[in-house]
Structures are given as C-alpha cells and as structure tokens.
Amino acid sequence: MLPKKIHEQKIFLIIFDYIFISILFYFFLKLQYSFFSNEKFTPTFSQLIDAHYKAYFLIIISWYVIADYVKIYKEKRIVYFRELVKKIIYQSIGFYIIITTISGLKETDLLSTKLSLIFIILIFLYLFITRLFIFYLKRYKYNKGIDLKNILIIGENNNSNKLKSILNHRKHFGYKVFEDQKNSTIETVINSIINNKIKEVFISQSGVENKFYEVEILNYCERNHIKVNYIPYSLDNYLMSLEVEYIDTLPVFKMKKYRLEKVNNQIIKSIFDISFSVLVFIFLLSWIFPIIALLIKIDSKGNIFFKQERKGLNGKVFSCYKFRTMKNDGTNSIKSTTLNDMRITKIGKFLRKTSLDELPQFINVLKGEMSIVGPRPHMVYQDNHYSEIIETYNLRYYVKPGITGLSQIKGFRGAIDCDKDMEDRVRIDIFYVRNWSLLLDIQIIYQTIELVIKGDENAI
C-alpha cells in the first residue's frame, strides 16, 4: 500500500495529466475542423463534445491502460534518468498508436496525420518537462535532507558496508541509514525501528548469527507492514541470475536469460553501433586521424597503430586497434601500463589522457569485433589469470567488448594494482551484462564524452 502522501501526489499527477490531455485534444479538434476538414463551419465546444465524446473516453481509458503497463505513475524512491526517459518514450509511442487507430476507425479523420504527429510531440514534451521537474525536485529535497526514508541495516557481510557507503554518498537516493549495533537484542532492534521510524529493513545475508533473532525481526516487520530486503553476501553466486516461475502453485527458480542473448536486442545494438561509428568516421575521424597520425610519426619512430590480441564475444581472440602511445621495447603486449610509465611518449601521454588513443577501435566495431559500449577488453594473459580467481569473470564474454564501458565512467580505469581493482571492474561489467539497454548505452556514451572533455584523472 502506498503511503498517503505518495498516493495523493500520484492522484494529483494523474488529474493534471488528464486536464492537459483533454485541453490539448479539444484544441487540436478545433484545428482539425479549421484547417483539415471539409466541413464549412467551426463547431462550438459543446458540439465537439457531442461529436467526439466516445473517442475522448476511449483515449482517456487507453492513456491509463498504457500508463499502467509502462508504470509511468509507479512511485520509486530510486529513479534513474534512463528509466524515466524509457517510460516517457513508451507512453508516447503507445498513445500515438491509439490516437491513429481511433482516428482510422472513424468515417472522417479524428486528427490528420500531421496533427496527430504534432499532438504526440507535444504530449512527449509535456511528459518530459513535468517528469524532469519532479525528478530534480525530488533529488533537491533529498540532498537537503527533506522527506528521507529511514532504513535499518541488520548484520554485516561483504556487501552491507558497500550499501551503506553508496546510500551515504548518494544522498539524492533519499535514504537515511541506521545500523544495528553488534550484540543487540531483539528488543533493542525493535525499539530502534520504533524510535527512528524505520520504513524499510535490510538484513545482511549470512550476517546474522542467530537465526531465531532473524526470524523474530522478520515476523515483527510483517506484522507492522515494514518492507524487508536481503543484502547478498556475494555478488558472484548464481542466485543473482535466478528468477521465480510458478508451476501451478509451486515456485521454481529459473536462470535468467541475459538481454543481449535475445536476437532482437543484438540487432538493435548492432544497428546502433554501426550507425554511430559511421557518423564518427564522417564527422570526426575523417579529419582527426591524419593529424594524430602525423603527430605520432613526428614524436617517435614506429607504426601509427598498435595492435594487441584481446578476447571478445564468447572468448574469441581478435586484434584490438589503438593509436601507438608507447616506445616499442618488446614488452608492450605482455606488460600492463603503470603510472608514470617510462615507455609512454609525449604525444602518447596526451592521447591516453584524452582517450583519443582508443579511436581506431571504431574499426573493430565496423568489423563486428567490438561494440561502442561494453566491458573493456583486457590483455589475454590478464583474462587467463583472472578467470581462474574471479568466479564470474567469464560472464563478460556474453557481450562484445566496448570502446567505453560502465566501469570506466564509474572511475574503475587505469592501473590494476591488486586483485580487488579487477574484482570491482568485473562486478560493474556483470551489472552491465545483466541490465543492458539502449538507453544505458546512450547514457554511458554521454558520460564518457563528459569525462573526455573534463579530463579523467584515472587515465594513464
């Protein structure tokens, strides 16, 4: 059940949407009669209602059905911008299909093709502006400490501290974190829930030694309608890839199919990769390639390009292209780059800092060996080493490697000084593999361009 305040906000938003749609709909009907209809008169408001009230009610009902399916009115505390845009696009496209269908069923056009298109563009802009305003208003309130949701974390495991750090650092998520003290009694925890007005409890999986204690907390939360979540003790286990299905009333666990295992998503990603790469070649590489090539030749002896074997989709080895940024001492293909590496040339340092050395990989994209966005390919010897010690490492091969990736924009770039550095990268890469979407790719590209312009301190 939604809290009263959230429920009221949802009702207000629905009413506001309906008022806007209704006014816009009847305004466009007036335009239809004025400019696109064979009728010799302009009807009054009451005449428009008499003539089109059935179509109006059908449109209003359809709006809510689509909204319910798209979940555009679903209230979530953590809302990502890409999810918001996706819902707005789906709502607009679905509504446009309904408008044109209803128009086609009538003897005369409800709205002409041109007016229908303008109508839906205005609907899209309205949704985008209002939802963006609400999105940033919520973030502003949360950053100011207003309307925060109090949560309690019980127990401790490998990931509970990571969750605390994320929620404390990202105040715009809107959570205030309380922690269960070690050796607390059930009474102490319940008092903490009551006194701190806890709305949600997070239990650390395998982090609570006393199972009876855990069950009592669960029972209390159930009785008092407090939501309970579990923090997994490991992000590498197969539970992360399971979903529940029912055979009659019996629940069974089924392995999730990764999104890019579906052929339609592969086609969408490939079309985007090729289209984006062609545009980059036309508007950027056509003039910057010769300049960089000349600078490399002037700066040091050797080839313009540096080729290195990397593993791609399904672990298949391919030659990854880069602009050469190092002097060739025979170790470039087997030794990782380190901070202040003496092998890096003057122009190479600039190319690495600005990520311009990666530009030749657009050739790999057009050859079908890489994608614009994906897990960054590592040296083959690194792949062989880390696949032995990181259980989920090989899941990276479910998708093509990318010129840029989610790990890079999250700050996991540069030298790998210890196993944990690679574990953090792999954890984020696996999130990408499991949660791919075209909007996520676009967001990563946008943030990569931001990093290139501002300068990435992790680039070496």
Query: Mind listing the pLDDT tens digit for each residue in 226-243?
Result: 999 988 887 655 556 677
* 157 and 137 in a common domain: no
* 402 and 280 in a common domain: yes
| Band of residue 17 on the pLDDT scale cut at 50, 70, 90 | very high
In a domain, residue 422? The reply is yes
What string of H, E and C letters represents the secondary structure of the chain?
CCCHHHHHHHHHHHHHHHHHHHHHHHHHHHHHHHHHCCCCCCCCHHHHHHHHHHHHHHHHHHHHHHHHHHCCCCCCCCCCHHHHHHHHHHHHHHHHHHHHHHHHHCCCCCCCHHHHHHHHHHHHHHHHHHHHHHHHHHHHHHHCCCCCEEEEEECCCCCHHHHHHHHHHCHHHCEEEEECCCCCCHHHHHHHHHHCCCCEEEEECCCCCCHHHHHHHHHHHHHCCCEEEEECCCCCCHHHHEEEEEECCEEEEEECCCHHHCHHHHHHHHHHHHHHHHHHHHHHHHHHHHHHHHHHHHHCCCCCEEEEEEECHHHCEEEEEEECCECCCCCCCCCCCCCCCCCECHHHHHHHHCCHHHCCHHHHHHCCCCEEECCCCCEHHHHHHHHHHCCCHHHHHHCCCEEECHHHHCCCCCCCCCHHHHHHHHHHHHHHHHHCCHHHHHHHHHHHHHHHHHCCCCCC
In a domain, residue 155? The reply is yes
In a domain, residue 199? The reply is yes
Specify the pLDDT at position 344. Answer: 85
Identity of the highest mean pLDDT range in 49-53, 194-198, 259-263, 413-417: 194-198
In a domain, residue 421? The reply is yes
In a domain, residue 271? The reply is yes
Specify the pLDDT at position 40. Answer: 60
Structural domains in the chain (count): 3
* 364 and 428 in a common domain: yes
* 278 and 366 in a common domain: yes
* 91 and 74 in a common domain: yes
- Residue-number span of the structural domain to which 96 is assigned: 4-143
* 398 and 274 in a common domain: yes
User: Which tens digit of pLDDT belongs to each residue from 264-280?
Assistant: 999 999 999 999 999 99
User: Which tens digit of pLDDT belongs to each residue from 306-336?
Assistant: 999 999 999 999 999 999 988 876 665 556 6
Identity of the highest mean pLDDT range in 33-37, 67-71, 411-415: 67-71
Specify the pLDDT at position 212. Answer: 80
